Amino acid sequence: MTQTIEARLQHLEDLEALRALQAHYADLVNTGWNGKQTDLDQFSDVFTADAYWKSAMMNVDMTGRDNIVNMLQSQMGTPDTINMHNFTSPQFKIDGDTATGEWLLWVLVKSDDNTNVVYQSEDVSYQRTEDGWKIAGLTLNLATIA
């Protein structure tokens, strides 16, 4: 082993911070049960100001935290719509103050007249900032809808 204990510890701390950030993002976009709704102001804690968000399935390709927040708000549906995101199997590559993550993701969306489960992967770019790690961009890759 050529890495110092400090470098190894930093790597472990970065991995945990990236997992926590992704869990926080999932919590923000999970809505619709027990009165759970999204606090849109918290997205500034998640995305960089110049972040991108892409999904061919949703026909979305945009840049800018404010644009992303507005788009997410429009996609949430009514207060009774259930949106549940489950991120699994993270694969991270950390390079200094940038990182990438590959996640498997399933999303349940249930409204009064429709229920869909969407299976996809998500490729995420992360940036370390003065305030910690943030999402610099993400791309959703559809696998199937059930």
Q: What is the pLDDT of residue 3?
A: 87
What are the Cα distances from residue 86, in Å, to 63, 68, 89, 132? 24, 20, 10, 23
Residue 82 belongs to domain spanning: 5-145
- Residue 114 is part of a domain; what is its CATH number? 3.10.450.50
The Cα–Cα gap between 136 and 36 comes to: 26
Where does residue 91 fall: left (phi above 0), alpha (psi -120 to 50 degrees), or beta otherwise?
beta
pLDDT of residue 1: 61
Q: Rounded to an integer, what distance in angstroms lies between the CA atom of residue 10 and that of residue 109? A: 37
Number of domains in the chain: 1
Q: Can you give the pLDDT of all 146 residues of the chain as single tens digits?
A: 688 999 999 999 999 999 999 999 999 999 888 888 888 788 888 999 999 999 999 999 999 999 999 998 888 777 778 999 999 999 999 999 999 999 999 999 998 889 999 999 999 999 999 999 999 999 999 999 98
